[in-house]
Structures are given as structure tokens and as C-alpha cells.
Structure 1
Amino acid sequence: MHVRTTTTTLRPAKTPAHAKRALLSRHHIVAPSLCVADAAAASVFNAARARGPIARDVIAKVTQLSIATVNRQVTALLDAGVLRERADLAVSGAIGRPRVPVEVNHEPFLTLGIHIGARTTSIVATDLFGRTLDVVETPTPRGPQEAALASLAHSARRYLSRWHRRRPLWVGVATGGVVDSATGYLNHSRLGWSDAPVGPVIAESLGLPVSVASHVDAMAGAELLLGGRRGPQSSTSLYVYARETAGYALSIGGKVHSPASGPGTIAGLPVNSELLGGTGQLESTVSDEAVLIAARKKRIIPAEGPGSTMAAVLRAARQGNEDARALLAERARVLGEAVALLRYMLNPDDLVVGGQAFTEYPEGMELVEAAYRKRSMLPPRDIRVTSFGNRVQEAGAGVVSLGGIYADPIGAMRRALTRRPEATA
């Protein structure tokens, strides 16, 4: 009896940190890999993804790996199931397997991306090339945090149940707020979530590895890994996002810079616009909500109801409403000046803008660029609009679900295919 009492008194109480570690030991929470990986298996897989069907000797040339290394990695990737051989495309008269091209074995698999927006959540199915197979949108759950997370996980699980012919491998969550990528926990003041176990709850429901990332980091990762542009590995890229929120991300040397304490914010960047509310801060000036409030005051759209939307403001501007055009021109000016200020501070090699504040009204990009040039204090550098247009949120969520596979395809497949039986029921 005495021994039992002693043992009990020495056992530490479970703190919140202990509780998180217990959840992590039970679930597959994996920090997102938003980078161009240079490990041998990743290099071989990504060569096949970019150029396949591709022969092993060509892989050796483009990756600068030895042919022996390429052969070993191809064999391992074939065994893992992420590559397949194309004997039908073998060079006529060639002898031996090394001349049999390989390609990504994309048809049996999918990954699941979830973008949690302030108003809308997108759930997207993506193949191993990063192509969107399907996407659905649903209102972001409101109400108590625990119930909202349960509703979100239920929606994701119900969506996955539709895919009978593809095996899900990974879940990627992209969201605003402050993300702890190591644990999958989230603080999101606009949703009223505090220390919310987003990753663990989804992992518990789906039985899959889960990665959680800041949504602007995720969008920058999509440009890096799926955008089709390949700059020097030493280059830097600034990604500026605006829609309902405003944010930025910086990629350095082929990797999205993700501070351990969470991304920085440009929400409070000083701006000046009486027309869009006069708050003096970037996010509350250029957000969709700021434009809608101003449009209602100007009676461009009704005060409430189905016609009181950004789509209605855009439609009014395109139909010649001068007040609507003035509001959108003002937002373009403020955005252009903000981009110039960020570029002045960070001076990146590449400058990308994304989010519906830029892409939903392409007529305004000339005004963004004019304001940017006027405010710039550095030599000219072009602004590039995101490769993904209005699909940038789903591309960001998709790349979070794929990053682990692209960085370590063999290890990722081993982890992904170790699923709890009860989660597959």
C-alpha cells in the first residue's frame, strides 16, 4: 500500500503540454513540408512528376544523381507504389529495365485539402500531381469550438466516403490565425477558437496523417511546388494575399519561411483611405467586408439580403456604376501602395500577389501596378499574379496535403498506409 502511494505522488499531473503530446503520440500530426526537397528519393519522384514518363538515365541527368542512386530510388519508389513502369514506352531494341520509363502512379491515390476561411471552408481532393480532382464549399462552422471542429471533421469524413476507387493518403489543412504546425493546434480570433486541436480532431476522425499550415504560407507553397516556375535555389519570393484577410509569406532558397511562433502579420500596416472606412490599417481597409460596408453606404447594393455581396459590387462596376468603380479603384490603390512598402522592406527577387482582392477584379490590376510603381523606392520589378487565380485557397490546402509526400515519398507512403482499422470503417 505504501509503495502504491509513493508511485502515485511521483506521477506528474497532466498539463496542457502533456495532453498535446499524448494526442500527438496517438495521431499522425506532421509539420507541413513547404519546400523544394533535395533528398534523393524526393528528387527522383519530383523529376518523374515534372517530366514523366521519364527514363532512369534522364532522371540522372536532371537530378545530377548517379545512375546507381537513381536505380535504387526508382526501385524503392516502385515498391512504395508512387511510381509505375511504362514498359509500353520502352525504347525499341534497348536491353534491361533501366530503359523502361517510369511515371507517377497517380490514379490509385488522392490527398485531402481543407481550407478553413473566415466565412467559407473548401474541401478539395487532389491527385499526386497536385491537380484538383474535385472541390466542395461549405460555410465554416460557427458556435462552440468543440462542436465546430466536430462538424468540420464530419464533413471531411463524409466527403472522403465518396471516393471508393482512390485511397486517401494525407490531409492538409490551411487556415488563418496562428498555427502551431508541430501539434496541429490553432488560435483563430475571428472564429473564436483558442488552442483548438484542429489536427488531432481531424486525424482522429479520418485516421490519416494531418499537416496544418498558415493559409498564406500554404499559398506561397503552392506557387513554389505547383506553380510551374523554377527560379534559382538561392532566390527569394514575396507572396502577398488579400481577400477577407491580408497576409504575406516569404520563400527563401526554395523553402517557405515559417517562424516557430507563427507568421508575421500585415493586418495593421498603416494605410490611408477615408472612402474605405478610414481605419488606418490595411486589413480592415482592403477586406471584402470593408468594401461591402462602403458599398452599402453608397447604396450600390442593398443593406442586406442575397444581393448584398461582393459579386453584386463587381457586377455593378462592370455595368458602369461609377461609385462601385471608385471603391474598387481605391482598394487597388491601397493594395498597390502596401505591396510597394513590403517590397521596399524585403526586396525579394520575385513578387507574387494572390487572393480575390486581386484576382476577382482583374480590371483593377493596372491600378494596383500604377500605385505600386508610384510608391516604389527601388528599381522597377514586376508584380506577378498567382498562377492559380480564384482557386488559390484550394491550391494552398492541396499543397499542404502533398508536401510531406513530395519531401519524403517513401516515408510518407509508409506513414500514410498505416491506418487505424476503425477509421476506415
Structure 2
Amino acid sequence: MRSTTLTSASDSRKGRLRQHVVAPSLHLSDSAAAAVFRAVRLRGPVGRDVIAGVTSLSIATVNRQVIALLHAGLLRERADLAVSGAIGRPRVPVEVNHEPFLTLGLHIGARTTSIVATDLFGRTLDVVETPTPRSAQGTALASLAEGARRYLSRWHRRRPLWVGVAIGGAVDGASGQVDHARLGWRQAPVGSVLAEALELPVSVASHVHAMAGAELLLGMRRFTPNATTSSLYVYARETVGYALVIGGRVHSPASGPGTIATLPAVSELLGGSGQLESTVSDEAVLAAARRLRILPTARGSVTELVRAARKGDQQARELLAERARVLGEAVALLRDLLNPDDLVVGGQAFTEYPEAMAQVEAAFNARSVLPPRDIRVTMFGNRVQEAGAGIVSLSRLYADPVGAMRRAGALGSPLRVAGDAAPESSV
């Protein structure tokens, strides 16, 4: 009898954890609530009539959604900005009520994990970095969860709503499980471990999909994208990857993201195995730098290599230029294959040494057989990993604001304290 009771309790707990693992929504939602919240986020403080004009929703629909978002604590009224002589609350502008809340993002890299606190606008409030544990997956996940829990405990005046994880490897967004060969993880229950430790809803996404989602949702240049527009996002740092955005949605195959790690790439200077990732990764570049005696044999970083190039070291410049050439040709190959309307590159292989973008573009133009196309560098620069983790933690709030607040248990009495300071110590 006792055994049956324990089994029932265990099954119930697992069921609750599964409910707290929620697939991310890396797309521009067309629901009324999402459209209204997006309009206020992008244009606020703003009146209901302007929201109606931007969203093409009726004023009655806008009023209903604004009332629901006010009740959820996501918006607040700005009576001090009401037009003089205006009568009635619908004339009072509204804005995002961002001070009481935060979301928590984790970018779990092959070497470094970033823990990011983000506000409702997607702005980074604070970020700390810690080495990614190299222990067995169970121990590593427990360590990461404890670090995130300690970090959250330092935010006394903002209510955490959601956790987002951006990570390499193959990600099952529905279950939050991850296969990550470089970390030695197999069906690692990332989502459920964090959900149990932090008692918050958790979403897990491929890190390249997350970064493409950040460009889409945080880097919007227009309120509603063209439904036929496509964008290719190419990432390179310690790993390489790509993502496609089509009609306002990051394309996320059910079987997981594709890989460009094994694309052909040949460089005598960089070495490698004849494949892209083993040729242009930070590890490959540093190995070449040590071989050429640009950096000390047993230590050195890409940052030091960049510093040497900027100080006039010709070999360092040639090595970084060669990496840029190989990357430019790989981007051209992908562009010719997929022919997107927009082309974005991100990751420190592109952004840490922007002086080499001329070589990327030259190699791209020489290799591509299609008409010329501009390459746009990510708007997030060297902070693209934290932007990706941040948008995974925000994506459900952006897609279904009221529903996400309900799932986060925050519809009752949200904190309303302004001016919270970042925690003083790191993980």
C-alpha cells in the first residue's frame, strides 16, 4: 500500500513538472492580446486609438485586451500623460509595467554559461557568467539549477515569471530534454530539473533558434512583417549553426535543427578536418595561433589574439582574416542554397573582430553565384548569447501575455516596486 502511495505521489510530481516545461514561442503571435502588448511595448506610452490603428483591431477589442493586461499587471495607466480635456479612461495612455517583474535566461555554452535577468522589454538587467560544469549530466544540471536558484534569490523586489534556456545540441522543446554531444548529455532533463529547482515555468530552445528569435522579436524594424519574408541567421563562435525565419516565425523542425558543422571547409593556415566547425571554431583558431607561436603554447584566448592583431601582429591579422574568408564562403553556400530575403550573421567569430567583416563580405561576394546581397551583423554584438536566452524566457509572455501570467501564478497580486537594483554578487 505504501509503495502504491509513493508511486502515485512520484507520478503526480512528474506530471506537475511536465506542465511547467513549456515549448518556447519564437514567432510573432497574431492573437489580439499579443498584438496589443507588442504595440504598447514598441510604442508606449500610447493611447488605445493609436493601438487600434497599429494593430488593425477594433477599439472595442483593444479596450478589452488593455483591461485584461492591466488586470494581469503587465500594463499600467499613465493618467499624467492624458490629453488635457479628454474624458474617460480610454483616453488615458498605457505603458508596459516592467519594474515589478523579471525573467531568467540561461545560455548554456560548451565552455561558459551565462545567467541573465531580463525585463519585459527584453533589456538585460544583469548578467553573470560561470564555467559550464563538465561533470556527469545529472551533477552538472543540479549545479546549474542551484546556481540559478541562488542568483534568483538575490532579486528581492522583482517577481520572476519564467525561465528560458538556450543551448546547443538537439533540443526537444515540448519536453525540455537535450542531447548535447560536446557536453556528453543524452536526453538530459534540462527543463524539468530547472522547473523543480526554481518552481517556475521553463522553456528550452536551440541556442541558434533563440538568437534568431531575438533578432525577430527584439530587433523588430516594423510592427508586422511581410508574411512572405524570410531571413537566414548564421552563427559562429565555439560552434557553428544556422536558423531560418519565415513569415515571422523561427522554423523549428520537430526532429531538431539541422547542422552546418560538417560543411566542407579547407584552410592550410587554420588546419581542421576539412569541415566547417573544426576549421573556424574558437578552439581551432587558438590551436592554429599556438602552432604559429602567436600565443603561448599552454594558454591564450581569442581576445588576446584579437588584441595582438590590433597591435599590429601580422600573423594574428592573417589568421583572423583566414577565419573570416572561410566563414564568408560558408555563408555564401547557405545563401545560394536557401536564397533568403534577409541575411544576418552573429556570434563572436563575426563580432569580436569586426575589422575582418570586409574579408567575410569579399569571400561571400566572390563565392555566391546569386545577385549581390548585403550581410547584416546582429544588432546585439557580443551580447547575442544573452539576448537569445532572454527571448526564450520572454517568448511565451509575448505570444500569450495573460495566459503566461496565469501559468506563472502571477495573476493574483504582482509586486509593484520600482527601481530594483541588480544583485551585488555573482553566482
TM over 0.5: yes
Separation in 2, partners of 1:418, 1:29: 17
Whether contact under 8 Å (1:32, 1:403) holds in the other structure is: yes
Q: Compared with structure 1, are the counterparts of its residues 278 and 19 closer, same or farther at alpha carbon in structure 2 (3 Å cutoff)?
A: farther
- Aligned residue for 2:339? 347
Map of 2:67 onto structure 1: 75
Match of 1:122 in 2: 114
Does residue 165 of structure 2 align to residue 165 of structure 1? no
Structure with more contact order per residue of length (Cα contacts < 8 Å, sep ≥ 6) = 2
Q: Partner of 2:271: helix, strand, or coil?
A: coil
For residue 242 of structure 2, the aligned residue among 236, 241, 248 is 248
2:327 is paired with a residue whose SS is helix
Corresponding position: 1:213 with 2:202:
no
Following TM superposition, by how much is the alpha carbon of 1:232 offset from its aligned partner in structure 2, in angstroms? Answer: 1.9
| Correspondence for 2:24 among 26, 32, 35 | 32
Percentage of matched positions with identical amino acids = 75
1:87-106 to 2 correspondences below 5 Å:
87-106=79-98
* Correspondence 1:335 to 2:327: yes
1:371 match: 363
SS at match of 1:256: coil
Within a 5 Å distance, the mapping from 1:251-290 to structure 2 comes to 251-290=245-284
Contact (CA 8 Å) 2:72, 2:410: kept in 1 or not?
no
Distance in 1, Cα, partners of 2:363 & 2:13: 49
Which stretch shows the higher mean deviation, 21-30 or 74-83? 21-30
Tell me the amino acid that sits aligned with residue 251 of structure 1: V
Alpha carbons 2:17, 2:196 under 8 Å: kept: no
More displaced 10-residue stretch of structure 1: 60-69 or 19-28:
19-28
**Distance across 2 between alignment mates of 1:252 and 1:406:** 18
Over residues 190-219 of structure 1, what are the superposed CA-to-partner deviations in whole Å (9 max), with x where a residue is unaligned?
A: 001111000000000000000000000000
State how far apart, in whole Å, the 2-side matches of 1:187 and 1:262 are.
Answer: 10
Which runs of no fewer than 5 residues in structure 1 stay unpaired?
420-425
Instruction: State the AA in 2 paired with 1:335.
Output: L
1:141 and 1:310 map into 2 onto residues whose CA distance is 21
Is residue 151 of structure 1 aligned with residue 143 of structure 2? yes
Task: Give the counterpart letter for 2:279 in structure 1.
Answer: T
**Partner Cα distance (1:19, 1:342) in 2:** 46
* Regions of 4+ moved over 4 Å: 18-21, 23-27
1:318: Cα distance to partner?
A: 0.9
Q: Work out whether residues 86 and 101 of structure 1, in 8 Å CA contact, stay in contact via their aligned partners in 2.
A: yes
Conserved? CA contact 1:20–1:183, under 8 Å:
no
Q: Which amino acid aligns with 1:240?
A: V
User: 1:240 and 1:333 mapped to 2: Cα distance?
Assistant: 15
Distance in 2 of aligned mates of 1:217 and 1:26: 22
- Offset at 1:234? 2.1
**By how many angstroms is 1:32 displaced?**
0.3
1:409 alignment partner in structure 2: 401
Native 8 Å contact 2:100 2:157 kept in 1: yes
Q: Structure 1 residues 212 and 108 mapped into 2: Cα distance closer, same or farther (>3 Å)?
A: same
- Once the two structures are TM-superposed, the CA of residue 410 in structure 1 deviates from its matched residue by 0.4
Q: By how many angstroms is 1:229 displaced?
A: 2.2
Structure 2 partner of 1:235: 229
Task: Say whether the 8 Å CA contact 1:186–1:193 is kept in structure 2.
Answer: yes
- Take 1:201 and 1:341, find their aligned partners in 2: how far apart are those partners? 39
Q: d(CA) in 2 for partners of 1:343 and 1:20? A: 48
Q: Of residues 81, 101, 107 in structure 2, which corresponds to 1:109?
A: 101
Aligned-residue offset at 1:138: 0.3
In structure 2, the gaps of 5 or more residues are 412-427
Aligned amino acid, residue 195 of structure 2: A
8 Å contact kept, 2:17–2:195: no
Amino acid at match of 1:214: S
Counterpart amino acid of residue 41 in structure 1: A
Q: Distance in 1 between matches of 2:310 and 2:11?
A: 54
1:23–1:200: 8 Å Cα contact kept in structure 2? no
Q: Find the residue that maps to 1:395 and give its secondary structure.
A: helix
| Alignment partner, residue 287 of structure 2 | 293
From 353, 369, 385, the counterpart of 1:361: 353
Give the letter for the 1:67 counterpart. I
Give the match's secondary structure for 2:139.
helix
Worse-superposed segment, 226-235 or 148-157: 226-235
Distance 1:21 1:155, change over 3 A: closer
Secondary structure, counterpart of 2:268 in structure 1: coil
Equivalent AA in structure 2 for residue 333 of structure 1: R
Structure 1 partner of 2:417: none
Question: What is the TM-score normalised by the length of structure 2?
Answer: 0.92
CA contact (8 A) 2:336 2:369 kept: yes
Equivalent-residue separation in structure 2 for 1:21 and 1:186 (angstroms): 21
SS in 2 for 1:208: coil
**Deviation digits for residues 52-79 of structure 1 (CA, Å, limit 9, x no counterpart):** 0000011000000000000000001100
Deviation at 1:363, TM superposition (A): 0.2
Q: Deviations over 1:143-192 (max 9, x none)?
A: 11111000000000000011001000000000001000000000101001
- Specify the alignment match of 1:202 in structure 2: 194
Q: Given the superposition, is the C-alpha separation of residues 20 and 118 from structure 1 closer, same or farther in structure 2, using an over 3 Å criterion?
A: farther
